[in-house]
């Protein structure tokens, strides 16, 4: 007789297809949101694939038609913070190390960013060597809306491009499609979603990195237009400031519909976290290594767990779903330097040696 737990499918499916190592995120009802067990399973899969001379590439996909990965299981992080059991910190520690490992992985990694790709799902995909978006891609770093900052190295990957598109995405949490993700340099190829199985077959027959790249290029298609393209100059001008108050002032002085919509969006976010996010992004722009950004972000997670806005944001978005968070402080000018400084401790745990 099998217990109920025996019938629950694994959250991560690890398979070998020819020369391809396939990692399938398998929580489709939860939009494949990450758990600590999934992070550990992916890391173990990378161990096996790296050691296997017969594996030429690794592909990450999400099961179900709705999303690649909607991020970390934020309800679990909320509950862990309330309980003080350390699970949230363990999750972030191992997740960030996994993200850095993908960025440095010795074999070609491929991410099929089909459907929703947010938060931790961006961390799993944006560091892959070949990043593929589809007509269903919905990409965002929406953390400022739940009293958290864009993490998984967002202060690195949102600051590697010229202009302020990354600042805009990090502060507003705006959801963008395939064209914008490619325009921002966060994806490399566009591919219709119905070519997934063909992609798996092609990669399973690839013998080396050059053949992996050729297989992807063969299946790729022209990318759709970037919807933000008409607003690039406006974004670069309005978001060029190093203080969030200056960005708000610039938006208020601009009479365009785009500025008005953006201002309304920012007014729904945690004031404290807007300050923190902009500081992280500006520091990230000066960073020499991804690992520097991940360590700085990890150091800030202790302050997240001590921040009432995180619990209020998750309550409003996930638990009660009233979409009406009551932030503390409620306005930007009420946020003190001490409120911000708590996210930037002078001493903290190191994630990486050296």
Catalytic residues: 72, 120, 143, 151
CB environment 85-120: b (16+ within 10 A), e (fewer): eebbbebbbbbbbbbbbbbebebbbbbbbbbbbbbb
Reported as half-sphere exposure (CB side, CA atoms, 13 A), residue 241 has a value of: 14
Q: Write the CA distances from 335 to 7, 76, 242, 263, 311, integer angstroms.
A: 49, 27, 16, 18, 18
CB environment 186-210: b (16+ within 10 A), e (fewer): bbbbbbeeebbeebbebbbebeeee
* Six-digit token string for 230: 């008409």
Residue 191: what are its φ and ψ, rounded to 5°?
Answer: -150, 130
Pairing state between β 67-69 and 57-62: unpaired
* Radius of gyration, alpha carbons of the chain: 20
The C-alpha atoms of residue 268 and residue 327 are separated, in whole angstroms, by 9
Reported as half-sphere exposure (CB side, CA atoms, 13 A), residue 345 has a value of: 13
- For 257, counting Cβ atoms within 10 Å of its Cβ (0-12 exposed, 13-18 middle, 19+ buried), the class is exposed
The C-alpha atoms of residue 119 and residue 140 are separated, in whole angstroms, by 7
* Six-digit token string for 6: 């025996």
Residue 344: what are its φ and ψ, rounded to 5°?
Answer: -130, 65
Q: In what order do the strands lie in the sheet with 57-62?
A: 12-17, 20-25, 57-62, 109-113, 130-133, 189-190
């Amino acid at each position: 007789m099998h217990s109920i737990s025996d019938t629950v499918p694994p959250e991560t499916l690890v398979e070998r297809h020819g020369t391809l190592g396939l990692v399938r995120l398998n929580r489709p009802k939860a939009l494949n949101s990450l758990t600590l067990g999934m992070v550990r399973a992916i890391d173990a899969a990378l161990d096996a694939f790296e050691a296997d001379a017969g594996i030429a590439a690794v592909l990450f996909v999400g099961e179900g038609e709705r999303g690649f990965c909607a991020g970390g299981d934020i309800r679990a992080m909320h509950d862990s913070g309330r309980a003080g059991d350390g699970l949230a910190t363990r999750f972030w520690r191992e997740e960030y190390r996994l993200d850095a490992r993908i960025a440095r992985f010795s074999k070609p990694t491929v991410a099929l960013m089909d459907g929703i790709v947010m938060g931790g799902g961006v961390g799993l995909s944006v560091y892959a060597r070949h990043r593929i978006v589809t007509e269903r891609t919905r990409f965002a770093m929406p953390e400022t809306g739940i009293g958290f900052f864009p993490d998984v190295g967002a202060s690195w990957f949102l600051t590697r491009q010229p202009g302020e598109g990354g600042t805009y995405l990090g502060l507003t949490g705006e959801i963008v499609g395939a064209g914008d993700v490619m325009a921002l340099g966060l994806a490399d190829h566009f591919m219709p979603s119905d070519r997934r199985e063909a992609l798996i077959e092609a990669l399973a027959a690839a013998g080396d990195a050059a053949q992996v790249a050729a297989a992807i290029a063969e299946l790729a298609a022209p990318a759709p237009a970037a919807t933000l393209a008409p607003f690039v100059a406006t974004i670069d001008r309005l978001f060029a400031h190093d203080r969030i108050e200056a960005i708000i002032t610039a938006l208020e002085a601009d009479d365009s519909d785009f500025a008005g919509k953006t201002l309304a969006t920012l007014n729904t976010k945690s004031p404290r976290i807007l300050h923190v996010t902009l500081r992280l992004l500006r520091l990230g722009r000066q960073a020499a290594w991804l690992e520097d950004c991940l360590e700085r972000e990890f150091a800030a997670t202790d302050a997240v767990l001590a921040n009432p806005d995180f619990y209020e944001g998750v309550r409003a978005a996930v638990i009660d779903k009233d979409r009406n968070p009551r932030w503390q402080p409620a306005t930007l000018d009420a946020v003190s330097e001490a409120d911000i400084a708590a996210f930037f401790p002078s001493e903290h745990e190191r994630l990486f040696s050296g």
